[in-house]
Amino acid sequence: MDDNAASVRLSHCAKTFADGTRALLPLDLDIAAGETIVFLGPSGCGKTTLLRIIAGLTEPDAGGRVFFGGDDVTARPIERRNVGMVFQSYALFPNMSVIDNVAYGLRVRGIAFAERRVHALRLLGMMQLEGFGDRRVDQLSGGQRQRVALARALAVKPRLLLLDEPLTALDAKLREDLRIEIDRLLRSLGVTSVYVTHDQAEAMALGDRIAVMSHGRVEQIGTPQDIYYRPASGFVADFIGTMNRVTGVRENDVLHVPGGALALPAGVTSAGDVMFRPEDARIVDARSAALRGRIISAFFLGNLTRIVVELGAGQSIIIDTVLRRTFAKDETIGIDVDPDALVVLEGRNPSANVV
């Protein structure tokens, strides 16, 4: 891990804008040194506000405190927080060459020309941009520009790297490539990173932990596996991946639903609402199955087949299967879901937080 990397602690940080909009509800958050945390959510959920509070571009409401390591940096403006920042719009300086962009942070720190040039060249090498140093910024592609922006942010050896939707402006293929590159970079440098995105695939791939946000609130914070397998709210379940939801009547450890019954995990006390992922439903022999449904449509996607199945009473589910067979419309199939794969939101209405 980078010795320079700082842990971050937010204590009771909230943000209310001048017009009364509550962009962020009071929040306590700890980010470990060297960790990559992703703020994930739809636009307007407060993720960018949170990033800007950490960066020092937005002041939290009175009472909020931001700590880097042991230092209270709440009153420090961004230029004295020693953070590196990468923007969706790249924000490269058009009046400077590529190498001058990368060396800018060193220049304002008063580092001598020769030394900062050597350092900037090394960073350009690390970002696979050898030979691009003397180009103008407008001569680069989008992916190259964002790599320059990364090199520029890393050149100042930041205590914390802040990335605000860095891949959103790029096309799909490039986004994938650069995502892998950023992942490799963050792991190898061990720099503490805060990454803001609305793209769940990006969040899953990059985050050590993900904070799923909605309406100025953190809905759930945890590892990508936690978020995916054990969503804490209906909002998280619906926002990440595809989730089936069936409603029925519980009787001991069995949930009676249209089309049959589902075995519940032991000790469930909640009402008649369960969720499961499309890949957790297995197709079994219809004659002996506890739950049956009728195929409405089937899409062969290559690596899997996605089937939409009607259970009855207006309830339908999606099943992803790797079985190498064809599925006909109106065919009746048996369905089995491992009780441990069922997601049951204990004691709360799962749709309470759905937007």
Partner 1 sequence: MTRGRSVRFVAQLLFTLGVCAFLVVPVVMSVLAGVTENYFTGIRSGLTLRWVGQVWSLYAGTIVLSLQIALACLVAALVLGVPIAYVLARRPSRVTRLFEEMLVLPVAVPGLATALALILLYGEWRGFRASWLFILVGHVVFTLPFMVRSVLAVMAAIDLAALEEAAASLGASFVSRFFGVIVPNARYGILAGALMVVTLSIGEFNITWMLHTPLTKTIPVGLADSYASMRLEIGSAYTIVFFVMIVPLLVAMQWLARERSPTKTTRHGR
DSSP code for 343: B
Q: Answer for the pair 276, 343: CB distance below 8 angstroms, yes or no.
A: yes
Cβ atoms < 10 Å from Cβ of 231: 24
Q: Answer for the pair 99, 124: CB distance below 8 angstroms, yes or no.
A: yes
DSSP code for 36: E
Residue (83 or 337) nearer to partner 1, CB = 83
Choosing from 25, 78, 126, 318, the residue that interacts with partner 1 (CB under 8 A) is 78
Spatial separation of the C-alpha atoms in residues 263 and 256, rounded to whole Å: 9
To the nearest whole angstrom, how small is the minimum distance from the Cβ of residue 105 to partner 1?
3
Residue (12 or 80) nearer to partner 1, CB = 80
Residue (91 or 290) nearer to partner 1, CB = 91
Which residues does 199 contact at the CB level (< 8 Å), separation at least 6?
Answer: 40, 167, 168
Q: Which of residues 81-100 bind partner 1 (CB under 8 A)?
A: 82-85, 87, 89-95
Residue (161 or 236) nearer to partner 1, CB = 161
Q: Which of residues 112-141 bind partner 1 (CB under 8 A)?
A: 137-138
Q: Enumerate the H helices of 138-250 as residue ranges.
A: 142-155, 172-189, 200-206, 224-229, 234-239
Q: Which of residues 168-227 bind partner 1 (CB under 8 A)?
A: 169
Query: Rounded to the nearest 5 degrees, what angle is found at the Cα of 203, between the Cα atoms of 199 and 206?
Result: 135
Choosing from 29, 31, 54, 55, the residue that interacts with partner 1 (CB under 8 A) is 55
Residue (137 or 218) nearer to partner 1, CB = 137
To the nearest whole angstrom, how small is the minimum distance from the Cβ of residue 189 to partner 1?
17
In angstroms, the Cα distances linking 43 to 196, 216, 220 are 11, 11, 17
**Contact between 143 and partner 1 per CB under 8 A:** no
Residue (96 or 121) nearer to partner 1, CB = 96
Residue in the structure block whose two tokens are 């992703």:
38
DSSP code for 7: P
Q: Which two tokens stand for residue 165?
A: 């939707």
To the nearest whole angstrom, how small is the minimum distance from the Cβ of residue 21 to partner 1?
16
To the nearest whole angstrom, how small is the minimum distance from the Cβ of residue 144 to partner 1?
11
To the nearest whole angstrom, how small is the minimum distance from the Cβ of residue 93 to partner 1?
6
Question: What is the residue-wise DSSP string for 64-112?
Answer: -EEEETTEE-TTS-GGGT-EEEE-TT----TTSBHHHHHHHHHHHTT--
Spatial separation of the C-alpha atoms in residues 189 and 7, rounded to whole Å: 15
Residue (109 or 187) nearer to partner 1, CB = 109
Residue (138 or 330) nearer to partner 1, CB = 138
Judged by CB under 8 A, which stretch of 9-17, 103-111, 120-128, 199-207 contacts partner 1? Answer: 103-111
Binding site for partner 1 (CB under 8 A): 55, 57, 77-80, 82-85, 87, 89-95, 104-105, 108-109, 137-138, 149, 152-153, 156, 162, 169
